[in-house]
Structure 1
Amino acid sequence: MSTTVARGGDGPDAAKLALTPSQTVGPYLAIGLTWADGPEIATAGLPGAFLLRGTLRDGAGDPVPDGMLEIWQADPDGRFDHPDDPRGAVVVPGFRGYGRCLTDTEGRFWFRTVKPGQVPDGDGGAQAPHLDVTVMARGLLDRLVTRIYFADEEPANAEDPVLRSLPEEVRGTLLARPAEGGYVFDVVLQGEGETAFFRL
C-alpha cells in the first residue's frame, strides 16, 4: 500500500501530497544466496540421476522470475550426509544432498538429483521418498517450506504420515509427475492449485 508524504518548502506546492514509491520485499537472491554447485544435487553420471523441472507461479498463475528454491534430501538408501542422522552420516560419491536454483525469467527451475530412499518416520514406520523444499521469492517475509513426493511411489505414498494427514484434494499438489528425462513439479504460491506449505 502506498502512503502520502508532504513536500517540503514554502509556497503553494508545500501543502500538496505525493505518493511514496511502491516497494517490495527483496529478495536480492543473486547477491548473497548463490550456491557454487547450484541445482546439481547429483552429478550427471551418477546411476539413477534425473532432472526435476518446474515453474514457480504466483496467485494469478504468472511465473515468478526472481524466486529461489532449495532442496535437501536423503540419498538412495535413505541416509543423510549429516552428523544429525542417528544412523550415522554416509558419503555417496557424486551426491551432495543439497541444491539451490534461482528461477529464470520465465519462473522456471531445475535440479539434477536422484530419488531418495525412505527415511524413518519416528514411530517405527517409514516416510515415502520425498525432497524437502524451501521457497523464497519477492514479497515473502519468510521462507515457505514444502515437500516433493513422487507420483509413481505407491504404496509408499499411501502409507506416508504427512501425505495421509492432508485432505485428498491437497495431496496432489505435492506430487511430481514422471516426464521425459525425469519429473515435473510446479510450485503455486497461492490461489487455485496452491501448493501445500508447512508450518515449522
Structure 2
Amino acid sequence: MTVHETRSGLILPKYASDDASHPPLDSGEYRSSALRHPKQPLQYLPQHLTEVTGPLLGQDRCGELDHDLTVQHDGEPLGERIIVSGKVLDSSGKPVPNTLVEIWQANSAGRYLHQGDRHPAPLDPNFSGTGRCMTDSEGNYRFITIKPGAYPWRNHDNAWRPAHIHFSLFGQAFTQRLITQMYFPGDPLFYQDPIFNSVRDEKARERMVSRFDLDSTVPEWALSYKWDIVLRGPEATVFEDEEEEEDD
C-alpha cells in the first residue's frame, strides 16, 4: 500500500492493482464488456473531505426486516429458504465492524424484479430480491433469503448464468463501494460462465464460492451457506467493476 496526498493535504491510501486475480476490464468471452470498458486512459479523480466522509452509511440505513428477504411481503416467497452469513475481514484478518452490506438476486425461477429482465420465468409477488444489513462488532453479517435460480443471458450459445447473489459493501462513503458475486458450491454451470471465469486465478475463483454449513442450518426450516468477504491481501475476495449491470 502507498499513500496519495490530495491538493487539500488529505492523505489517502492507494493500493496496487491485483491483475492476477481481478478480471480485465475487457474480457473477450464476456461479450458486453466490449461496450462497457473504458476506451481512454483512466484519469485520477481527486477525493476531497466530502467524498471520503459523507454521506453517513450507518444503522439508520437499515430497516428491521431488511436482512430477511422472506418476510418483506404479505406472503412467503416460493423456493428453497436459505441462510447466508459470514464475516467481513480486512487484509490482516481482522473483522470490519459496522459496515453496510447489501445484496440483490434473482428469484427461485431465475428472474429479477427489473424491467429489463425479459426471461420467460414467473415473477414472485412475495419476493423483491434485495436486502441490507450492518456487520456487528465482530464483522458478522447474516441474511435470510431464497436460493436463486439459474437464468439464460444470450452471451453465447445456450448460455446460462450459475446461481449467484450480488454483494455490495460500503465503507464510510459511496466512493469506497465494492461489488462482488457469491456462488454456490458444485454448480454445473461454472465451466461455461465467462463472468466467473474472467477471474483468471483459480484460487481467487474458489473464494467467490460459498460453502454449505450444516452447523448453522436451522432444523426443519432453512439450509445455510457461509461466505467470508476479505477486502485486501492474498486472500481477498474478487471485486468487480461498479459499472457492471445489476442483472448480470
Correspondence for 1:185: 227
Moved more, 120-129 or 190-199: 120-129
Distance 1:31 1:166, change over 3 A: closer
2:117 is the counterpart of 1:75:
no
Distance in 2, Cα, partners of 1:195 & 1:79: 26
Distance 1:159 1:42, change over 3 A: farther
Are the equivalent residues in 1 in contact too, given 2:97–2:137 (CA < 8 A)?
A: yes
Distance in 2, Cα, partners of 1:31 & 1:113: 20
In the superposition, the TM-score normalised over structure 2's length comes to: 0.65
Aligned-pair identity in percent equals 31
Distance 1:33 1:165, change over 3 A: same
2:164 is the counterpart of 1:130:
yes
SS in 1 for 2:58: helix
Large movers: runs of 4+ above 4 Å: 44-47
Deviations 1:4-47 (A, max 9, x none): xxxxxxxxxxxxxxxxxxxx745732265224531112249654
Q: Which has the larger radius of gyration?
A: 1
Letter in 2 for 1:95: F
2:197 is the counterpart of 1:164:
yes
Task: Give how far 1:150 is off.
Answer: 0.6
Deviations 1:103-152 (A, max 9, x none): 01111001111111112233240110001111112477231010000113
1:15-164 to 2 correspondence within 5 Å? 25=53, 28-30=56-58, 33-43=61-71, 46=77, 47-87=79-119, 90-123=122-155, 124=157, 125-138=159-172, 141-153=175-187, 155-164=188-197
Moved more, 96-105 or 24-33: 24-33
Correspondence for 1:21: none
Are the equivalent residues in 1 in contact too, given 2:167–2:181 (CA < 8 A)?
A: yes
Higher strand share: 1
Are the equivalent residues in 1 in contact too, given 2:86–2:227 (CA < 8 A)?
A: yes
Distance in 2, Cα, partners of 1:190 & 1:37: 30
Are the equivalent residues in 2 in contact too, given 1:69–1:100 (CA < 8 A)?
A: yes
What RMSD, in angstroms, separates the aligned Cα atoms of the two structures? 2.7
Letter in 2 for 1:188: V
Q: How many residues align?
A: 180
